[in-house]
Structures are given as C-alpha cells and as structure tokens.
Amino acid sequence: MSERWIADRMHNIDASGIRKVFDLAARMTDPINLSIGQPHFDTPDEIKEALFEAVRDGKNAYSQTQGIAPLREKLEARVAAELGQADRQLFVTSGTSGALMLALSTLINPGDEVIVFDPYFVMYKHLTAMSGGKVVLIDTYPEFKIDVEKVRNAITDRTKLILFNSPSNPTGMVSSIEEMKALAELAKEKDVALLSDEIYRSFCYDGEFISPAKWNDQTIVIDGFSKSHSMTGWRLGFVHGPAHIMQQMIKLQQFTFVCAPHPMQWAALVAADYDITGRVDEYREKRDFMVRELSGDYEIAGANGAFYLFVKAPWGTGTEFAKAAIDHNLLVIPGNVFSSQDTHFRISYAAENSTLERGVEVLKKLAKRPTS
C-alpha cells in the first residue's frame, strides 16, 4: 500500500489519547479506572425494554433522516418552552459527535477559523481539522473562566465559529451567566456562529442550567442522551438551531449517517421522560467526596458540573504524573490530550464509590511520593 493514498487531512489527526488509556485498561488486572468519560451505571431497564419492544415491533428500517416525529415533537416542545424562539428547528442525530461533524462540515470552509477554549473536548480539534478549518485556542487557565475580551481580540475576518461547552469536559466548569451572556452577545455582534455543546446539561450541581442560546437566537445547540441516561453506545443525540442551518445539516445527514439508529429513537421517547434526579444527586455526592479528599494535596478549579476534575499535577508534567499513576494501577488521562498545555490530568468520578476511595488513596500517596 502506498503512503500517498492517505489523504493529507488524516495527518492532522492523532489517535485519541483517551482511547490509548482504554486499550491499556483492558490489559490491566483490576485497575483503578478513573479515566472513563461515561456514567458508571447501566442504561435504565425501562429504556432497555422500550428498545426491545421497538425491535420486536419491526422498527428496524431507516427512519426519516431528521428522526421520528414523536421524538422530535417531544424534544421541540421542551426547547420551545425553554427558549421560545420561533425559527428554531430540531432534528435527531447519530450521537452528539455526529451532530458536531455535521455542524462543522456545514459551516466551515477550508481556512476558516474556529475559536475553541483551552482545555477542550478532544473531538473539537480533530473535527475542525477534518472540515478544513483552523482551531484558534483561547487560554482559560488557571480557573477555566472565559475572558470575553480575549475572544474579541481573537476574532478575525476568517473567524466562522465559536465552540462552547458548559458544563465542560474535561474541567467540569460551569460558565457563569455573565460569561455566557457576554459570549452570546459578542457572537451576535461579530456575526460569528456560536455552537453550544450541552451534552452535560443535566449535571449542574450548584445551580440551574442555562444555555447561551437564551441571549442569541442563532446559537446552534447540541444535546443527547449518552451521558444523562448512560446510553453512550446507542449513538443518539439531537441538535437545534436556526432553520436554514438545520436544513443544510439534515441534507448532509441524508448522505452520511442517513439517520440516527431507528429503534433507539423509540426508546429515547421513554428516556426523555425518565427522571434522572437520583443519579444527578449521586454524582454531586461523588464530586463533593473527591474535592473534599483531594483539595488538601491538589489544586482543583472548575468541578461545578459534568463528572470530571481537571487537576493540576503536584509535580512534573501531566503526562509524567499519569505514567506514575499507571505504575500504581491507577488510570487517569494526561491533560495534554485536552490542551496545548501539559500541566494537569483529568479524573472521571463516574465510578463506584469503592473505586473512588481506592483512587483517592493512591492519589494522596502520589502527591507526597513522586518517585515511588
């Protein structure tokens, strides 16, 4: 096989550092796994039963490209009640990553600039590269807050899109109302598209979730069922935004994903009404435990939502610390997977309490014994 067969764009994409850790975990014996970015609980039985019923009922062919009408109507009603924007349209996607790919492919021309806040979700960088765009990073260290003046200064005549994620992966940061309002208004002022990735919206521990779309009716919003209902493998998301953009994205979905997995969409009708309050409360308690136990030895900012801590390494680089953790049978993700910097590491506390307790014990030792 000739190397010249490989498209140039593929050389701009590295294998996922997270995937490498997943592969490592599969080879380890009883690792203390605080690396996995998905809920530790299984999909609720009621949702599983709805899937089984849909399969038995023969809902196994393609659905409409935009998704089944009952699910769209249920979700549209909720969005309308929250935002009340007449021109907002919604369709169902093959996961939130599918929605991200569709949005970037629809909006970005080669050479267009996409503003991304550092640290960032790993897919933002690579999907932007796939679309031919150029990522422009805005540093949010050390507190992971958004400085809107930095954003204003970064906007050029090639800026097409701002990618925003709150609650954030990897930091767990929930942006303030002031930050979101200022960002939304700046995007409107500069005629730059704003995409709000809201997949963790259910996991806000210290206040009510608010979308920047409240202040900018042109905001594109991506959401889904993966994290809230532990349906990561079901590949079911949705996106809503201005109708003229949604129509272009639906057209692209027709010729790529075709549709979201059909039987899963019927199960999502049940998921949409399933109460996850108990799980959110459980994760709040896990967050509180981890922050309480680690704050004496580690510098932790963010941690207001999602189920992550982005922790400053107490010595060495984030990569060096993560390697030392592996030597102690503990899996965490080095921060340079999510960032241009290598000063932190990510903990996922989506794990059983016994696993968190084991992880805390190792982390306390590592903070004090960097060479052992």
Condensed to tens digits (0 to 9), the pLDDT of residues 44-61 reads: 999 999 999 999 999 999
Mean residue pLDDT of the chain comes to 93
pLDDT at 21: 62
Determine the Cα–Cα distance for residues 363 and 311; give it in Å rounded to an integer: 11
Which of 219, 241, 271 is the C-terminal boundary of a domain? 271
Whether the predicted pLDDT of 362 surpasses 50: yes
Q: How confident is the model at residue 30 (pLDDT cuts 50, 70, 90)?
A: confident
Determine the average pLDDT of the residues in 60-67: 96
Global pTM value: 0.93
pLDDT band at 23 (very low <50, low <70, confident <90, very high): low
> Are 154 and 256 in a shared domain?
yes
The CATH number assigned to the domain holding 251 equals: 3.40.640.10
Q: Is 289 part of a structural domain of the chain?
A: yes
pLDDT of residue 287: 98
Q: What is the CATH number of the domain that holds 336?
A: 3.90.1150.10
Structural domain range at position 242: 58-271
158 band by pLDDT with thresholds 50, 70 and 90: very high
70 and 217 co-located in one domain: yes
**Residue 19: pLDDT band by 50, 70, 90 thresholds?**
low
pLDDT reported for residue 7: 82
Answer yes or no: do 212 and 317 share one domain: no
Residue 184 lies in a domain: yes
224, 251, 271 — which closes off a domain?
271
Q: Are residues 209 and 247 in the same domain?
A: yes
> pLDDT-derived band of residue 371, with 50, 70 and 90 as boundaries?
low
Query: What average pLDDT does the segment 337-344 reach?
Result: 96
Same domain, 288 and 260: no
Shared-domain flag, residues 168 and 211? yes
Looking at the fold, whether 39 and 90 belong to one and the same domain comes out as no
Of all residues in the chain, the percent with pLDDT exceeding 70 is 95
Binned at pLDDT 50, 70 and 90, residue 368 comes out as confident
Residue 53 covered by a domain: no
Per-residue pLDDT tens over the stretch 296-330: 999 999 999 999 999 999 999 999 999 999 989 99
Say whether both 103 and 234 belong to one domain: yes
Over 60: is that where the pLDDT of 22 sits? no
Same domain, yes or no, for 346 and 211?
no
- When pLDDT is averaged across residues 162-188 and rounded to a whole number, the result is 97
Asked if residue 51 belongs to a domain, the reply is no
Say if residue 234 is in the same domain as residue 93.
yes
| Residue 148 in tokens | 């809107």
Lowest-pLDDT range of 111-115, 133-137, 319-323: 319-323
| Contact criterion met (CB below 8 Å) for 35 and 18 | yes
Task: Give the separation between CA 225 and CA 234, rounded to whole angstroms.
Answer: 9
Question: Which residue, among 137, 220, 217, 212, has the nearest Cα to 176 in the 3D structure?
Answer: 212
pLDDT digits (tens, 9 = 90+) for 93-104: 999 999 999 999
pLDDT band, residue 8 (cuts 50/70/90): confident
Does residue 132 sit in the same domain as residue 250?
Answer: yes
Domain count, the chain: 2
What the block records as the tokens of 130 is 């796939």
Residue 118 binned pLDDT confidence (cut-offs 50, 70, 90): very high
Asked if 236 and 356 sit in the same domain, the reply is no
**% the chain with pLDDT above 90:** 88
